[in-house]
Structure 1
Amino acid sequence: MQINLDNVTQFINQANLEDQKVLNDLFDLLYDKVKQLASIQLNKLNPNESISATQLVHECYLKLNNSKSLSIKNRNHFYSLSARCMRFYLVDLVRQAHNQKNEGIHTELKVTQLIQQDDLDFKLLELDRLLEQLEQIDEELASITELKFFGGFTFDEIADIKGQPKSTVFKRWTMAKSYLINLIEEGQNQTDDNP
Structure 2
Amino acid sequence: MDSGQSEITQVLRCLSKGDDRAHERLMPLVYVELRRIAAAHMRRERADNSLQPTALVHEAYLKLVGMERIHYSDRAHFFAVSSRLMRQILLDKARRDRADKRDRGLTLILADDDMLAAKQRPVDLIALDDALLDLVKLDERKAKIVEMRFFGGLSEEEIGCVLQISSRTVKRDWRAARAWLYNALAHS
CA distance in 1, matches of 2:16, 2:146: 30
Quick one: which amino acid aligns to residue 83 of structure 2?
A
Q: Which residue of 2 aligns with 1:133?
A: 134
CA distance in 1, matches of 2:180, 2:85: 24
Question: Cα deviations across residues 16-48 of structure 1 (Å, max 9, x unaligned)?
Answer: 465442123222211100010000000111222
The SS at the match of 1:109 is: strand
Contact 2:16 2:72 in 1 (8 A): no
Q: Which residue of 2 aligns with 1:172?
A: 173
CA distance in 2, matches of 1:18, 1:126: 38
Question: Cα deviations across residues 47-82 of structure 1 (Å, max 9, x unaligned)?
Answer: 222211110001101111121232211001111011
Runs of 5+ unmatched residues, structure 2: none
The SS at the match of 2:68 is: coil
Quick one: which amino acid aligns to residue 133 of structure 1?
D
Structure 2 length-normalised TM: 0.85
Q: Which residue of 1 aligns with 2:154?
A: 153
In the comparison of the two structures, how many residue pairs are matched? Answer: 183
Q: Which residue of 1 aligns with 2:163?
A: 162
Q: Which residue of 2 aligns with 1:92?
A: 92
The SS at the match of 2:153 is: coil
Runs of 5+ unmatched residues, structure 1: 188-195
Q: Which residue of 1 aligns with 2:61?
A: 61
Contact 2:35 2:54 in 1 (8 A): yes
CA distance in 2, matches of 1:177, 1:102: 28
CA separation of 1:166 and 1:98: change in aligned 2, threshold 3 A: same
CA distance in 2, matches of 1:114, 1:24: 38
1:4 to partner: Cα distance: 4.9
Of stretches 6-15 and 79-88 in structure 1, the one that deviates more from structure 2 is 6-15
CA distance in 1, matches of 2:20, 2:32: 19
CA separation of 1:33 and 1:12: change in aligned 2, threshold 3 A: same
1:110 to partner: Cα distance: 3.0
Quick one: which amino acid aligns to residue 12 of structure 2?
I
Matched-pair identity in %? 27
Structure 1 length-normalised TM: 0.82
